[in-house]
Amino acid sequence: MRLTPTEYDLLKALIQAAGKVLTHQQLLRQVWGPAYTTASHLLRVNVATLREKLGQGPVHSTYIITEPRIGYRLRTDDYVSYS
């Protein structure tokens, strides 16, 4: 799997905060810079592409969890449900 530099930075940010919710603004600031904090379309597109590259569907994810109207978090083993 090959990641673009942006996808790599996005995955790195999620890994560094594994299990914690990162807001849209936090991710945009961290990955694209402070001038992009309102460019949520960039985030949505890159998360969808990253999910596909991780072998997941673009919407439903096992690893990158969407927290509606808040942001995203990377699922850790502590959050996996075995039921």
Q: Classify domain 5-75 at the CATH topology level.
A: Arc Repressor Mutant, subunit A (1.10.10)
* pLDDT recorded at residue 58: 60
3-state secondary structure the chain: CCCCHHHHHHHHHHHHCCCCCEEHHHHHHHHCCHHHCCCHHHHHHHHHHHHHHCCCCCCCCCCEEEECCCEEEECCHHHCCCC
* pLDDT recorded at residue 60: 62
Q: Tell me: the pLDDT tens digits for 10-38?
A: 999 999 999 999 999 999 999 999 999 99
What residues does each domain of the chain span? 5-75
pTM: 0.83
